[in-house]
Chains A and B, each alone.
Chain A
Amino acid sequence: MDDPLLVVEDLTVQFPTEDGVVTAVSNLSYQVELGKTLGIVGESGSGKSVSSMAVLGLHDARSARITGSIRVRGTEVVGMSEAKLRKLRGNEIAMIFQDALAALHPFYRVGGQLAEAYRVHHPSASKRDARRKAIEMLDRVGIPKPDRRVDDFPHQFSGGMRQRAMIAMGLINDPSLLIADEPTTALDVTVQAQILDLLQDLQREFNSAVIIITHDLGVIAEMADDVLVMYAGRAVEYGPCKEIMVHPEMPYTWGLLSSVPDVTSDTSARMIPIPGNPPSLLSPPTGCAFHPRCVHRDKVPGDLCSTTLPELIPGGRGPQHLKRCHLSNSDAIYEAEVLPEIAPDLVEEP
Chain B
Amino acid sequence: MFAYLVKRVLSGIVVLFLVSLSIFLLFWFGPSEPAQSICDRETSNRCTPERLEVFRETLGFNNPWYQEYGTFIDGVFTGREIKFSKNTKVYDCEAPCLGISYRTKQDVFDEMKTRMPATLSVALGGATLYLLLGIPIGVAAAKRRGTLADKALVSSFLAISSIPYYLFALLAWLFVTINLQVPVISDTGYFPITDNPGKWASGMLLAWIALGIFGCTQYTRYSRGSMVEVLSEDYIRTAKAKGLPNRTVIYKHGLRSALVPVVTIFGIDFGTLLAGTIFTERIFDIEGIGLWGLEAVYQKDLPVVSATALFGAAILITSNLIVDVIYSVLDPRVRLS
Which of the listed residues B147, B234, B241, B257 has the most CB atoms from chain A within 10 Å of its own CB?
B241
- A230-279, CB < 8 A from B: none
Asked whether, in the complex, the Cβ of A104 is within 8 Å of the Cβ of B240, the reply is: no
A103–B136 CA distance with the chains assembled, in angstroms: 25
Provide the residues of chain A in CB contact with B235, threshold 8 Å: 102-106
Nearest Cβ in chain A — how far from B90, in angstroms?
Answer: 59
- A67-116, CB < 8 A from B: 82, 86-91, 94-95, 97, 99, 102-107, 116
- Given A58-B237, A102-B234, are A107 and B332 neighbors across the interface (CB < 8 Å)? yes
- New A-B pairs, 18, CB < 8 Å, besides A87-B243, A103-B237, A117-B242: A56-B241, A82-B246, A89-B241, A89-B242, A90-B241, A90-B244, A94-B241, A97-B234, A103-B234, A104-B238, A106-B257, A106-B331, A106-B332, A106-B333, A107-B332, A116-B242, A120-B242, A120-B243
Asked whether, in the complex, the Cβ of B237 is within 8 Å of the Cβ of A97, the reply is: yes
Provide the residues of chain A in CB contact with B243, threshold 8 Å: 86-91, 117, 120-121
Provide the residues of chain B in CB contact with A62, threshold 8 Å: 146-147
**Residue A153 lies at the interface, judged by CB distance under 8 Å to chain B:** yes
Provide the residues of chain A in CB contact with B241, threshold 8 Å: 56, 58, 89-90, 94-95, 97
In the complex, the chain A residue whose C-beta lies closest to that of B246 is A82
Provide the residues of chain B in CB contact with A82, threshold 8 Å: 246
Provide the residues of chain A in CB contact with B234, threshold 8 Å: 97, 99, 102-103
A91–B147 CA distance with the chains assembled, in angstroms: 32
**Residue A38 lies at the interface, judged by CB distance under 8 Å to chain B:** no
**Residue A169 lies at the interface, judged by CB distance under 8 Å to chain B:** yes
**Residue B228 lies at the interface, judged by CB distance under 8 Å to chain A:** no
A88–B233 CA distance with the chains assembled, in angstroms: 22
Could you list 21 A-B pairs, sorted by A, with CB under 8 Å?
A58-B237, A62-B147, A87-B243, A91-B243, A95-B241, A97-B238, A102-B233, A102-B234, A103-B234, A104-B238, A105-B238, A106-B235, A106-B332, A107-B256, A107-B331, A116-B242, A117-B242, A120-B245, A121-B243, A153-B333, A155-B332
Range of interface residues on A (Cβ < 8 Å): 20 to 34
Indicate which residue in A90, A99, A106, A153 contacts B242 across the interface (CB closer than 8 Å).
A90
Nearest Cβ in chain A — how far from B25, in angstroms?
Answer: 45
Interface, chain A (partner B; CB < 8 A): 56, 58, 62, 82, 86-91, 94-95, 97, 99, 102-107, 116-117, 120-121, 153, 155, 169
Provide the residues of chain A in CB contact with B333, threshold 8 Å: 106, 153, 155
Asked whether, in the complex, the Cβ of B239 is within 8 Å of the Cβ of A105, the reply is: yes
Total inter-chain residue pairs, C-beta < 8 Å: 67
**Residue B14 lies at the interface, judged by CB distance under 8 Å to chain A:** no
Provide the residues of chain A in CB contact with B244, threshold 8 Å: 86, 90, 116, 120
Which DSSP category, helix, strand, loop or mixed, fits chain A's interface? mixed
8 closest pairs, A vs B, by CB? A90-B243, A89-B243, A102-B234, A90-B242, A105-B235, A103-B234, A117-B242, A95-B241
Asked whether, in the complex, the Cβ of B242 is within 8 Å of the Cβ of A103, the reply is: no
Provide the residues of chain B in CB contact with A87, threshold 8 Å: 243
Nearest Cβ in chain A — how far from B73, in angstroms?
Answer: 44
Provide the residues of chain B in CB contact with A56, threshold 8 Å: 241
Which of the listed residues A56, A105, A153 has the most CB atoms from chain B within 10 Å of its own CB?
A105
Which of the listed residues A90, A104, A153 has the most CB atoms from chain B within 10 Å of its own CB?
A90
Provide the residues of chain B in CB contact with A107, threshold 8 Å: 256-257, 330-332
**Residue B253 lies at the interface, judged by CB distance under 8 Å to chain A:** yes
Provide the residues of chain A in CB contact with B331, threshold 8 Å: 106-107
A105–B253 CA distance with the chains assembled, in angstroms: 7
Provide the residues of chain B in CB contact with A155, threshold 8 Å: 332-333
In the complex, the chain A residue whose C-beta lies closest to that of B233 is A102
Nearest Cβ in chain B — how far from A8, in angstroms?
Answer: 18
Which of the listed residues B237, B243, B257 has the most CB atoms from chain A within 10 Å of its own CB?
B243
A94–B238 CA distance with the chains assembled, in angstroms: 10
In the complex, the chain A residue whose C-beta lies closest to that of B238 is A103
A91–B242 CA distance with the chains assembled, in angstroms: 8
Provide the residues of chain B in CB contact with A95, threshold 8 Å: 241
Asked whether, in the complex, the Cβ of A153 is within 8 Å of the Cβ of B332, the reply is: yes
Nearest Cβ in chain A — how far from B226, in angstroms?
Answer: 14
Provide the residues of chain B in CB contact with A94, threshold 8 Å: 241
- Given A107-B257, A107-B331, are A169 and B242 neighbors across the interface (CB < 8 Å)? yes
Nearest Cβ in chain B — how far from A242, in angstroms?
Answer: 31
Nearest Cβ in chain B — how far from A85, in angstroms?
Answer: 8
Provide the residues of chain B in CB contact with A116, threshold 8 Å: 242, 244
Q: What mask results when residues 160 to 195 of chain B are scored 1 for a CB within 8 Å of chain A, else 0?
A: 000000000000000000000000000000000000
In the complex, the chain A residue whose C-beta lies closest to that of B329 is A107
A107–B332 CA distance with the chains assembled, in angstroms: 6
In the complex, the chain A residue whose C-beta lies closest to that of B256 is A107
A253–B187 CA distance with the chains assembled, in angstroms: 80
Indicate which residue in B146, B238, B245, B257 contacts A86 across the interface (CB closer than 8 Å).
B245
